[in-house]
Amino acid sequence: MPQSEKPEMTLEDKVKSLTSRDRERILEVFKASLTHEYAAFLQTCAHCGLCADSCHYYLTQKDPKSIPAFKLHQITKVYKKNFDLIGRKLPTLVGAEELSNELIEEWVDTLFGRCSLCGRCGINCTMGINIPYLIRTARGALAAVGLVPPGLQSTVDTAVEKGNNMGISQEDWLETVEWLEEELQKDVGDPEAKLPLDKSGARCMYTINPREAMFFPLSITAAGKIFYAAGEDWTFSSKNYDVTNYGLYNGDDEAAGIMSGRLVQALEELNCRELILAECGHGFNSNRWEAPEWLSRRYGFPVNSILQLIADYIRTGRIKLDPARNQKTVTLHDPCNLVRLGGIVEEQRFILRHSVKNLVEMYPNREKNYCCGGGGGQLAMTRFAERRLEVGRIKADQIKATGAEVVVTPCHNCIDQLMELNKHYKLNVEIKTVSEIVANALVIQD
């Protein structure tokens, strides 16, 4: 449902009207999601400040409120006041503070509005504190009392209610697949080329980011073309194909479990043997790493990124690529959830070295890369849109310094932010997925 149709009480009004019961609820949910390990982290920050220069928010804004240690302290002081012996008895001694409505307002601004959960502070922390995990946990406590900024919450709600985060009807999905199948057949010159739907027993089930079907379908045909060239045995599900999971961003484990659980159910119903995730950073992190925790179960099948599959096709000679077809200079943006937090680091580089003439790295790169600014649900939270563009300046500068004509990134969320950075900072680059680049370099063998 469009946001404008929802009965609106502003987030600020909601915070002002919180009761002591609501505040207790926030603390209960927060406490319930803290493991011993993470409770220990909350006692560990040495306030060394090294994290400041790791954060794209602080580097661009120079606002002390954007220093990761400060963001963490917003949570720590509440933890100490409620769950730590000294904090309860002598709060001023350890900087403990009660969770008031004023502090909750600051939590909303800090935890949702000054963090993209990119994890760069975590790898630069001298104590090894997993700061984004703690911020996500506190976001989840706010979610329990309805304090998630509207666009982010409505994206979760739409996904839970409609089965995908853009509310695409099944009829529209099927019609789009049929249309793209015709486009694929024209492209490869084979009327038998398929985008299979509900093919029972197919080796792998592929997923997409709904924005591909809704607005940017070229990456779907590109993936279809790669599968066609490799002779892959694959299928889409007619019902559950959404790789995204904004439950990772609003911190609501129950909603997150519902979304990821649907992919598992679809795969099992179709008797597929491998779940293949589209180019989506947070979708990869959610479904590859977090979902078994949310669902409290072990998966009996592998979960891989399409990048791993494409890299395998190249290694085993299942597809043939001609880099001469991609002459423009290309640089690669590393999505935080896929690379730093997801562990898929070299596959995309291996693939691009086989599909483009000239690949230049931005600096820093791989797990040290800067966030584009669009992660953590930032794209969905209109209220923080200006900040999102402001903190994306680092990424814009990184891109400019490469002199590249094309920016490739295996994440649709990053792509949208990069498109905005392209416009705002006048970068004059093309922005593409890895699949699109590979599809363009494919030499279709008979």
**Binding positions for another protein, rule: CB under 8 A:** 1-5, 151, 154-155, 158, 165-168, 172, 175-176, 179, 209-211, 213-218, 244, 280, 379-380, 382-386, 412-413, 416, 419-420, 423
Q: What is the nearest approach in angstroms of another protein to the Cβ of residue 218?
A: 7
Q: Which long-range contacts (CB under 8 A, 24 or more apart) does 186-192 make?
A: 187/221, 187/225, 188/225, 188/228, 188/444, 190/228
User: Please, which residue, 87 or 167, has the CB nearer to another protein?
Assistant: 167
Task: Tell me how far the alpha carbon of residue 292 is from its chain's centroid.
Answer: 17
Residues 6+ apart with CB under 8 A from 91: 80, 81, 97, 98
Q: 3-state DSSP helix/strand/coil percent for the chain, to nearest 5?
A: 55, 10, 35
Contact 86, 93 (CB under 8 A): yes
Q: What is the nearest approach in angstroms of another protein to the Cβ of residue 398?
A: 21
User: Please, which residue, 67 or 118, has the CB nearer to another protein?
Assistant: 118
Q: What is the nearest approach in angstroms of another protein to the Cβ of residue 311?
A: 24
Q: What is the nearest approach in angstroms of another protein to the Cβ of residue 443?
A: 23
Q: What is the nearest approach in angstroms of another protein to the Cβ of residue 115?
A: 18
User: Please, which residue, 386 or 446, has the CB nearer to another protein?
Assistant: 386
Residues 6+ apart with CB under 8 A from 236: 177, 195, 196, 197, 198, 205, 206, 208
Element (H, E) at 330: strand 329-332
User: Please, which residue, 286 or 413, has the CB nearer to another protein?
Assistant: 413
Element (H, E) at 277: strand 274-277
Residues 6+ apart with CB under 8 A from 386: none
Q: What is the nearest approach in angstroms of another protein to the Cβ of residue 1?
A: 8
User: Please, which residue, 172 or 268, has the CB nearer to another protein?
Assistant: 172
**Smallest Cα–Cα separation from 160: which of 254, 236, 251?**
254
**Smallest Cα–Cα separation from 122: which of 134, 112, 111, 106?**
134
Query: What is the C-alpha to C-alpha distance for residues 332 and 402, in angstroms, rounded to an integer?
Result: 10
Query: What is the C-alpha to C-alpha distance for residues 193 and 439, in angstroms, rounded to an integer?
Result: 15
Longest CA–CA span in the chain (Å) reads 77
> Would you tell me the crossing angle of helices 20-32 and 131-143 to the nearest 10 degrees?
140
The one-letter code for the residue type at 417 is Q
Q: What is the nearest approach in angstroms of another protein to the Cβ of residue 329?
A: 21
User: Please, which residue, 68 or 151, has the CB nearer to another protein?
Assistant: 151
User: Please, which residue, 101 or 185, has the CB nearer to another protein?
Assistant: 185
User: Please, which residue, 354 or 412, has the CB nearer to another protein?
Assistant: 412
User: Please, which residue, 274 or 390, has the CB nearer to another protein?
Assistant: 390
Q: What is the nearest approach in angstroms of another protein to the Cβ of residue 215?
A: 4
Return the CA Rg of the chain. Answer: 22
Q: What is the nearest approach in angstroms of another protein to the Cβ of residue 36?
A: 35
